[in-house]
Amino acid sequence: MSRLSHPGLRVVARPAPRRPGGGLAVLVVVTVLAALAAPHAQALRGLVTDGLPAIAAPERPGARPASGSRSARAVAFALAQRGKPYRWGGEGPSAFDCSGLTWAAWQAAGVTIPRTAAGQLATLPRVHGQLRPGDLVIYPSSGPTRRHVAILVGRGRIVEARGRGIRVRSTRLRDGWLGAVRPGAGP
């Protein structure tokens, strides 16, 4: 405590009380939030940039879907599943197989699609022309169903539950696919 004096006036200045751990608590909270968000940074970054007002323009190849669209919700869901284990027949929330991941992503977007990769290829509208985020890309497979499916997330990247021992991941779009379908596009 310091004392300031002036003839006829006496002022006592007291330092502001310190709150124990105030700054440290904020630092800990920010660090924990950053650690929790780190695995989802790409999805969060996409959601933040998609949340900005859009200026109407022609869609460019590899563009992210419009914020709030069904395809944007499906893509965001799929991206958030990265790192989860593969499990045959898995529909989430803790593990997925390939078609379980695409089925759950589109369910989260409010669109019902067939549960299997073969069913998705056989019944959903085929993509003719440029692929868009949210499209499902079906590959031949040596597995029991003979089909593997992944969801396009944009810029030549897919999210897939590839197989046993491989966690859900984002990887580049590979050549050799059988076809692509667009859930929610109508007949």
- Tell which wins on pLDDT, 13 or 100: 100
Specify the pLDDT at position 179.
94
- The residue with greater pLDDT, 41 or 180, is 180
Residue 10 has pLDDT above 60, yes or no: no
Position 44 scores a pLDDT of 46
- Inter-CA distances, 124 with 56, 121, 144, Å: 28, 6, 21
Confidence of residue 49 (pLDDT cuts 50, 70, 90): very low
List strand residue ranges (DSSP E) for the chain, in order.
2-6, 9-13, 136-140, 147-154, 157-160, 169-172, 179-181
Both tokens assigned to 93: 């929330």
More confident of the two residues 141 and 42: 141
Q: What pLDDT sits at residue 37?
A: 62
Going from N- to C-terminal start, the domains of the chain cover 64-181
Looking at residue 68, what is its pLDDT? 75
Omega before residue 93 within 30° of 0, cis: yes
pLDDT at 144 (0 to 100): 75
75-115 residue pLDDT tens: 999 999 999 999 999 999 999 999 999 999 999 999 999 99
CATH of the structural domain 64-181, one choice from 3.40.30.10, 3.90.1720.10, 3.40.50.12160, 3.40.50.300: 3.90.1720.10
Q: Where are the alpha helices (DSSP H) in the chain?
A: 22-37, 41-50, 70-80, 98-108, 117-123
| pLDDT for residue 184 | 86
Q: Which residues contact 163 (CB under 8 A, 6 or more apart)?
A: 86, 143
Who wins on pLDDT, 36 or 59?
36
In this prediction the pTM is 0.64
Better-scored residue on pLDDT, 75 or 45: 75
Q: Of 15-24, 121-130, 135-144, which gets the smallest average pLDDT?
A: 15-24
Cβ neighbours of 7 (radius 10 Å)? 5
Q: What number is the average pLDDT over the span 14-20?
A: 55
Higher pLDDT, 94 or 21: 94
Q: Quick one: average pLDDT of 152-164? A: 95
Query: What average pLDDT does the structure give for the chain?
Result: 79
